[in-house]
A = this chain, B = another copy of it.
Amino acid sequence: MSLPRIAVDAMGGDEGVRVMVEGAALARRRHDRFKFLLVGDEMLIKAALENHPNLRAASEILHAPETISGEEKPSQALRRAKHTSMGMAVNAVKAGHAGAAVSGGNTGALMAISKLALRTMPGIDRPALAALLPTLGDNDVIMLDLGANTECDARNLVQFAIMGAAYSRIVTDLDSPRVRLLNIGTEENKGTESLRDAANQLKLAAQGLELTFDGFTEADKICRGDVDVVVSDGFSGNIALKAVEGTARFVGDLLKRAFTSSLRSKLGFLVSRPATELLRGHLDPNNHNGAVFLGLNGIVVKSHGSASALGVANAVHVTARLLEENLIERISGDLAKLGGHGLGNGRAAKGAAAKDAAE
């Protein structure tokens, strides 16, 4: 069976076409059965491909006359989608010319364009943005939603849990990932009504699904390695993700300051360099690059704007894995099981949705 192509928005990302193409070329080495559709300025892409004959042999170029800027409002980006590298990469997925799209451009624009072009899957009310974070354990943890939906009801959270678990099963090879809802305490009475409703629904439904629902988690326990999927509304998830990223950077800055504070500490730094390099590698966002929009009729992956070629390669790697492992079919299958339990489209979910709508 031939695999679907991966469309790469070659113009997105702060570093421009060279890094996007180099990243795709690196990923291509790991996934040599894939073909690519490179979308953007044809001249620039051709020039960038000169150093990467293997990628060139596996690629087609789709010329896009315009690009979307980092500051552009989603509404404006939507209007220009048809002529831009980002919009054309996503539309290639819609038209079936590619199985997935990767972009390092403006997140809000990518979300708006993807939602409009690909629409949400049957059984999913709203898509969510999911990312991988490092942990003290063997596997990365998946967090979602990270900002696609400022406010969410219980039904959204249950759907996010199912989508996050499907994603986790693919990237971790776990049979039944441990799922928790992000809350401000682990007791059953903590948090908002939506969270408590979602917990009750997941408790009932989890037996029939390929996930283990472990209740609530607090934000200081995300990276301990004892949870595989952390589910939240997009506001809280975005706050938690950025607090984690900011603090990792903050501690790194303090460490740098400490190591350069005296001759002795500079010497100590040189001696322990291999160890601190290990740490740096573990925390480097490039090694966890590639956030996925889950819940659409097609796979769209957001690469960090400032990602290196290695970072872009990781985002493309994630995309390839999700295509190979049929993420969307897996989510559909799980949603069907949820329906069979009388939830999702059943009484409990309807009650919660009605309650949320009335609030």
* A271-B274 CB under 8 A given contacts A219-B238, A236-B239, A243-B220: no
Contact sample, A vs B, 11 pairs, CB 8 Å cutoff: A150-B191, A192-B235, A218-B242, A219-B241, A223-B246, A240-B243, A243-B243, A254-B282, A254-B283, A255-B279, A267-B272
| A268-284 contact mask (Cβ, 8 Å, vs B): 1 or 0 | 11111111101100110
**Complex Cα gap A219–B143 (Å):** 16
- Establish whether residues A184 and B239, one from each chain, have CB atoms under 8 Å apart when the complex forms: yes
| CB–CB A184/B235 < 8 A | yes
A220 in contact with B191 given A184-B234, A261-B278, A274-B265 (CB within 8 Å) = no
* In the complex, residue of chain B having the shortest beta-carbon distance to the beta carbon of A192: B150
Cα–Cα, bound, A254→B220 (Å): 15
CB–CB A272/B259 < 8 A: yes
- In whole Å, how far is A291's beta carbon from the nearest beta carbon of chain B? 14
Assess whether A1 is interfacial by the CB under 8 Å rule.
no
- Which residues of chain B are near A265, meaning CB under 8 Å? 271-272, 274-275
- A269 contacts which chain B residues (CB < 8 A)? 268, 272, 275
How distant is the Cα of A327 from the Cα of B250 in the complex, in angstroms?
Answer: 31
Give the shortest distance, in Å, between A212 (CB) and chain B (any CB).
22
User: In the complex the two chains form, what is the Cα distance from A244 to B243 in whole Å?
Assistant: 6
Q: Indicate if the CB atoms of A244 and B247 lie closer than 8 Å.
A: yes
Chain A residues with a Cβ under 8 A of chain B: 136, 147, 150-151, 182, 184, 191-192, 218-224, 234-236, 238-255, 258-259, 261-262, 264-265, 267-276, 278-279, 282-283, 359
Q: How far is the CB of A188 from chain B (nearest CB, A)?
A: 11
Chain B residue with the shortest CB-CB distance to A282: B254
**A243 with B222, Cβ < 8 A, contacts A184-B234, A234-B184, A265-B274 known:** yes
Give bound CA distance, A219 to B239, whole Å. 5
Majority SS at the chain A contact face:
helix
How far, in Å, is A69 (CB) from chain B's closest CB? 14
Residue among A150, A239, A268, A276 with max Cβ neighbours from chain B (10 Å): A239
Residues of chain B contacted by A248 (CB below 8 angstroms): 247, 250-251
Residue of A234, A247, A271, A276 most packed against chain B (CB within 10 A): A247
The answer to whether A246 and B220 have CB atoms under 8 Å apart is: yes
Partner of A221, one of B221, B246, B262: B246
Q: A243-B244, A271-B271, A278-B261 are in contact. Are A223 and B250 (CB under 8 A)?
A: yes
C-alpha spacing A351/B270, complex, angstroms: 61
Q: Is the CB of A268 within 8 A of B273?
A: yes
**Given known contacts A147-B184, A254-B136, A261-B275, A239 and B243 CB-to-CB distance under 8 angstroms:** yes
CA distance A357 to B296 in the complex (A): 34
A279 interface neighbour in B184, B254, B278, Cβ under 8 Å:
B254
Known A265-B274, A272-B272; further 13 A-B contacts with Cβ < 8 A = A150-B184, A219-B238, A219-B240, A219-B243, A223-B250, A239-B243, A240-B243, A243-B244, A251-B279, A267-B272, A268-B273, A268-B275, A271-B272
Q: How far is the CB of A194 from chain B (nearest CB, A)?
A: 11
User: How far is the CB of A271 from the nearest CB of chain B, in Å?
Assistant: 3
Q: Which residue of chain B lies nearest to A253 when distances are taken between CB atoms in the complex?
A: B136
User: A9 CB to closest chain B CB, in angstroms?
Assistant: 21
Residue of B nearest to A259 (CB): B275
Which residue of B has the minimal Cβ distance to A71?
B187
